[in-house]
Amino acid sequence: MLPSKFIEAAGLPDHWQEKDLQEYIAQCLRLRGFRADLEVSANGGRADIATNWQNGTIIEVKKYLDRNAIYQAFGQLSLYGLNNQHKLVVMGFLTVDANEQPSALKTASMIEQNPRIKVVFVNLESEWLPTTQVRRSWLLNLFSLPNISLPKLPLSDWRFLLKIVKNNPLLIVLVIALLSIITSNLKQEFTHCHQQQQNWDCVFSSIYQD
């Protein structure tokens, strides 16, 4: 799948960044039942993704994988993988530069001679291609709102209320106008009921209706 088609199908933003692809990959792993944490401290650096996939894996994500990007990611993973036995995975789109693609594929096959290391071109392997489920989960995560706590107002403090009145005289005018309208409407309703001698019927009719 072309990267542009992948981006559209996955619902990534038009001006997507590397972190968007990181989150997409993490969501794929979570939907498969694995844990996936982003930006995890590792041997003096920060691994893009740490997961229990393959019994423990560190993933370095690059937007596009050409020869140089693969080497850079491999160097980072070599550091993150010190003093542990985690699998090391480079992930990203195969470069769109047709002249660079052969060297990228060759570099990937060379470093994969180490069984601990794998290079994944996400737009070429079916298990990482966008599905409706992955897209929906990614979008929900993207647009989820943080917990917001509203400040507590000291409404029981009369000095606070007096300050509001003093600083917002228009607010008092609006409140008085609203109360006048409500009072006028209530007066009209009860006057109408009184004229028809149906005061109690007006009040309780909604209760005794079948």
Distance separating the N- and C-terminal Cα atoms of the chain: 65
pLDDT in the model for residue 105: 97
According to DSSP, the residues that pair with 40 across neighbouring strands are 47
Are 185 and 136 in the same domain? no
Q: Where are the alpha helices (DSSP H) in 144-168?
A: 158-167
Q: What is the pLDDT of residues 57-82, one digit of tens each?
A: 999 999 999 999 999 999 999 999 99
Is residue 80 located within the same domain as residue 179? no
Please check whether residue 150 lies inside any domain of the structure: no
Is 152 a member of any domain?
A: no
Residue 164 belongs to domain spanning: 158-208
Same-domain pairing of 163 and 80: no
Report whether 21 contacts 61 (CB < 8 A). yes
Neighbours of 22 (CB within 10 A): 19
Residue 114 lies in a domain: yes
Q: Which helix (H) or strand (E) holds 18?
A: helix 18-31
Q: Compute the distance between CA of residue 65 and CA of residue 60 in angstroms, rounded to an integer.
A: 11
Q: Give the 3-state secondary structure of residue 183.
A: helix
Q: Are 13 and 62 in a shared domain? A: yes
pLDDT for position 14: 87
pLDDT value of position 200: 46
Question: Domain boundary at 143, 168, 186, which?
Answer: 143
185: in domain:
yes
Percentage with pLDDT > 90 across the chain: 54
Residues 130 and 163 in one domain: no
Last residue of a domain, one of 120, 143, 166: 143
95 and 180 together in one domain = no
Question: Both 66 and 170 in a single domain?
Answer: no
Residue 103 resides in a domain:
yes
Q: Are 120 and 29 in contact (CB under 8 A)?
A: no
Structure token digits, residue 151: 């400040």
pLDDT at 117 over 70: yes
Q: What's the rounded Cα separation, in Å, for the pair 59 and 62? A: 10
Buried-state track 77-110, b at ≥16 Cβ within 10 A, e below 16 = beebbeeeebbbbbbbbbbeeeebbeebbebbee
Among residues 86, 113, 143, which one ends one of the domains?
Answer: 143
Residue 88 lies in a domain: yes
Kindly state whether residues 81 and 129 are assigned to the same domain: yes
Q: Same domain for 191 and 138?
A: no
> Is residue 98 helix, strand or coil?
coil
Give residue 33's pLDDT band: very low, low, confident or very high (50, 70, 90). very high
Do 186 and 83 have their domain in common?
Answer: no
Count the domains in the chain.
2
Coil, strand or helix at 74: helix
Name every residue whose Cβ is closer than 8 Å to that of residue 49 and which is 6 or more positions away in sequence.
Answer: 22, 25, 26, 29, 36, 37, 38, 40, 58, 59, 61
Q: What is the CATH number of the domain that holds 101?
A: 3.40.1350.10
- Name the pLDDT band for 206 (thresholds 50, 70, 90): very low
